[in-house]
Every structure is written in structure tokens, then in C-alpha cells.
Amino acid sequence: MAALAALFFALAPAAHADEMPANWTKPTKPYRVVGNIYYVGTEGISSWLITSSAGHVLLDGGPNAETGKLVERNITALGFQLADVKILINTHAHYDHAGGLAQLKADTGAKLWISRGDAPAMAAGHHIGDNIYGPTPMPAAKPDRSFGDQTKLKLGEIAMVSHLTPGHTIGCTSWTTAVVEKGRPLNVTFPCSLSVAGNVLVGNKTHRTIVVDYRASFAKLRAIPTDVMLPAHEEQGNLLAKRQKQLRGDPNAFVDPGELARFVDASEAAFNKELARQQAAGGAR
């Protein structure tokens, strides 16, 4: 139960940038995870680089312009060129994952792909949807392309698919791809966050279908075959511990076919608890 509580509260967006956890902006050494996927984020907030001979895709950009620059340094530290980042994608339009995208877009010249549900928030520079933390502003960035469910992203050897999993935000997007690690094919899922994180679940005027959306997203993610789960927050997948296992020589440090289901189960339990609390309170914020 303590771990579940930590999952719920740690992922609530801070009301102001100066309240964010220290590890959200703490530098960490980048590394290859599996196949052509690299971790290039901060210690606490994930950014994922997916590489190909035709250019690269970057998923999520951290909380602000400074972490966007940190992500850039991590990319170049791995030996890749910023100009080869051709497409920027996002799990969801909260500042802690989208706040660095404007800086990254300006510095790389990459095209920004945002789901249709989250495109207005990205363009406006703040979260959209009734939330006790308010709009949580972020640097605005104009999407070059908005998309829907099951959109295919192709770039060189990269083949990714979008899975709309709304709830956490209106346009929350999980991504899947397939890689080969030492001759072994692996299905990789980048799940969008599933926590309530301050969302109003009873009487949400901006996101009226929020409860139905959460429940559909839990079911959708459970149905996705996943060997490797790569989440948006370090603690969602114990990434630091897995990296240490990898450094000790474990070739399967990030491989866990049951992890996504456990993540969904924990998230759904926390959601049900918070929904019951809000219902008992009569929807009062």
C-alpha cells in the first residue's frame, strides 16, 4: 500500500515549477536500453530516443527549457546529432513531460506530433481539463501534426504506433514499437501516465468523459503485448534499479512481460480509491 500511495502522490503535477521534485531536473548519464532505444531524460523524468539510419524520434522533453537542453546534451553525449532528430512525440501535455518540447523543437528543427486531444493544450501552453492544481503552464509549442488512435509513425527502421489512452489528460498517448535485442524480438510499450494526479473525476466540465476514458484506457493497455515497459516517470518502472542490474551484466534487466499489467492494476486501484473519495465528497474539489 505504501508503494501504491507513493505512485499516486509522486505523479501529481506540482502547482508551480519551483515545487517539482529535485530529481525531475537532476542530470543522469544517458544509456542504451534495448535495441535502438536510449534513455536521455533526467533522473526522474523520462525522455526516450529511438534511432534509425534515416533520423531519430524523441519521446517527451522534460519540464522546461533547461531540461530540454539537458536532453540535448544527453543525445550528443551518446554520439548522435541534434539535427538528426526528425520527429518529436509526447505521452501527454503536462508540463513535466512537454515543457521542454518548445526548446527541443527550436534547436533540432524536428516536427512536433501531438495527439488531437492534447494539441490545444500544447499550443496554448497549459494543461486543459478540470484539475485541482490549475492549468500548470508550460512553454507553448505549435504542433506540426495532430493525430488519432492507431497512427503509424515510420522513419527509417523505426515503426511506432499511437494508442490513445485518455484520462490523465484528454489526449494521453501510449506508444508501441518492436525492437531486436541480440537476435531476440521484443515488444516495447511506452505507457502514458494513468494516475489521477489532481484530476476532477466527478463533475469535470472540461473532460466530461474522464471516468469512462480512464476505464477504457486501463483495458486497452492490458491488452497490449509488452515485453519491455518504458514509462514516463522513473518510479513507475524502477528504472534506476533496472539500469544498475544492466550495468552488472543482466541482459534482461528491462525485460518483464508482466510489468505493464501490474502497472495498470496499481493505477486502477488508486483511481478507484480516488473516485470513491470524490463521490463521497459529492464532487467537491
pLDDT digits (tens, 9 = 90+) for 220-271: 999 999 999 999 999 999 999 999 999 999 999 999 999 999 999 999 999 9
Q: What is the pLDDT of residue 1?
A: 34
Q: What is the pLDDT of residue 19?
A: 76
Does 144 have pLDDT greater than 90? yes
Q: What is the pLDDT of residue 282?
A: 85
Where does the pLDDT of residue 283 fall: very low under 50, low under 70, confident under 90, or very high at 90 and above? low
> How far is the CA of 202 from the CAs of 130, 198, 280, 282, 285, in angstroms?
10, 12, 10, 8, 9
What is the rounded average pLDDT of the residues 187-195?
98
What is the rounded average pLDDT of the residues 185-196?
98
What's the domain range around 201?
Answer: 31-283
Residue 169 lies in a domain: yes
For the chain, give the mean pLDDT.
93
What is the rounded average pLDDT of the residues 145-163?
98
Residue 17 lies in a domain: no
Q: What is the pLDDT of residue 18?
A: 56
The percent of residues above 90 in pLDDT, for the chain, comes to 91
Does 156 have pLDDT greater than 60? yes
Where does the pLDDT of residue 2 fall: very low under 50, low under 70, confident under 90, or very high at 90 and above? very low
Residue 77 lies in a domain: yes
| Between 2 and 180, residue with greater pLDDT | 180
Residue 148 lies in a domain: yes
Q: What is the pLDDT of residue 203?
A: 95
Residue 2 lies in a domain: no
pTM for the model stands at 0.93
> How far is the CA of 228 from the CAs of 20, 43, 231, 232, 257, in angstroms?
28, 19, 10, 13, 7
Residue 174 lies in a domain: yes
Residue 4 lies in a domain: no
User: What is the count of structural domains for the chain?
Assistant: 1
pLDDT digits (tens, 9 = 90+) for 4-53: 333 333 444 444 455 789 999 999 999 999 999 999 999 999 999 999 99
Residue 10 lies in a domain: no
| Between 88 and 133, residue with greater pLDDT | 88
Task: Determine contact, residues 34/228, Cβ cutoff 8 Å.
Answer: yes
The percent of residues above 70 in pLDDT, for the chain, comes to 93
CATH of the domain at 232: 3.60.15.10
Q: What is the pLDDT of residue 8?
A: 36
Among residues 55, 171, 52, 178, the alpha carbon closest in space to that of 118 is found at 171
Instruction: Give the bridge partners for 161, in sequence order.
Output: 152, 176
Q: Exposed, middle or buried by CB within 10 Å (0-12, 13-18, 19+), for 122?
A: buried
